[in-house]
Structure 1
């Protein structure tokens, strides 16, 4: 990989922005859990599992997207862009719908798995889209994992100190970023 190439840096910045957008969901849900009170050891445990899910989900999605790309050819780019638009729209809609309660007991095994899956499921769909575009697999998976873990730590820690309104805006911002990338891929 030629680190001086503008294309490489463009790919890194794009992947970082997508990872940050998907990590905002972990941040927003972490804020809610953090406001209820959480021990620092639990913060590390929850964040490590979220980071793992943020690596496994896009990896599975990228492998599936690569296969779909082989089957569909150029149509795969359009499908990937449309998928990102749908995902971004769904995240925006979910953030604006305030009647939903997202309370999960993070201390139980199944609660931790459900919480981690709920904040990482979007990464699978984005992974499918990225697999269609033949992006760098290792870079993408590592960056998604690091961002997911860091954003969950930030959310859980900040949740102990700030109000719930930030969580709603965080998920909305993530939706807007994915929507913008979906539109970019279609143009």
Structure 2
């Protein structure tokens, strides 16, 4: 892969990682508003970051399999998947869905919380697998931004109103929809 193609892939993955991070940010913001200790912020952010690594790996492997089966149709399918995922994120933010309440101090609550915010990373991983995206670059960017943006949301949630969470998820959904359209066109 030449340098310009790699930089294009890096920029695309970076923007998608930030878009996915907005979902983790909005969840963190909602939880942070309810009050959370700093040690729990670090623990929760780390686990969410880890899930933003593991889920795309499964998605990338699934996407590579689907790409092999679908061939040239894979690009359109990937674009449609991103459009649907982005649309769902925007719809959820408009509906004003409440942040689910989990006991983030219990192992089960932490697992469910991290899994719920990382499901989108699996779906995007499927899309990236259809394009044979660089595995290490994808999981490192997704993991870093998922973990850091959830920590930022948790920290900021201690200070601001819940309205930012809704805008964060809608912004992330809009970014995914734009990439979906670009993949289709």
TM-score range, shorter chain: over 0.9
For residue 180 of structure 2, what is the aligned residue in structure 1? 182
Q: Is the 8 A contact 2:52 2:121 kept in 1?
A: yes
Give the Cα separation in 2 of the matches to 1:23 and 1:118: 13
Runs of 4+ in 1 over 3 A off after TM superposition: none
Which digits, 9 at most, give the CA deviation of each residue in 1:44-69, with x for residues without a partner? 11011000100000110000000110
For residue 18 of structure 1, what is the aligned residue in structure 2? 16
For residue 138 of structure 2, what is the aligned residue in structure 1? 140
Provide the secondary structure at the position in 1 that maps to 2:74: helix
For residue 55 of structure 1, what is the aligned residue in structure 2? 53
For residue 119 of structure 1, what is the aligned residue in structure 2? 117
Cα RMSD over matched residues?
Answer: 1.1
For residue 65 of structure 1, what is the aligned residue in structure 2? 63
For residue 97 of structure 1, what is the aligned residue in structure 2? 95
* CA drift at 1:7: 1.6
* Structure 2 gap segments, 5+ residues each: none
| 1:76 aligned residue (74, 81, 93) | 74
TM-score (norm 2): 0.97
For residue 40 of structure 2, what is the aligned residue in structure 1? 42
TM-score (norm 1): 0.96
Provide the secondary structure at the position in 2 that maps to 1:167: helix
* CA drift at 1:78: 0.8
Q: In the TM superposition, what are the counterparts of 1:22-33 in structure 2 within 5 Å?
A: 22-33=20-31
Which digits, 9 at most, give the CA deviation of each residue in 1:30-83, with x for residues without a partner? 011111111111111101100010000011000000011011100111111110
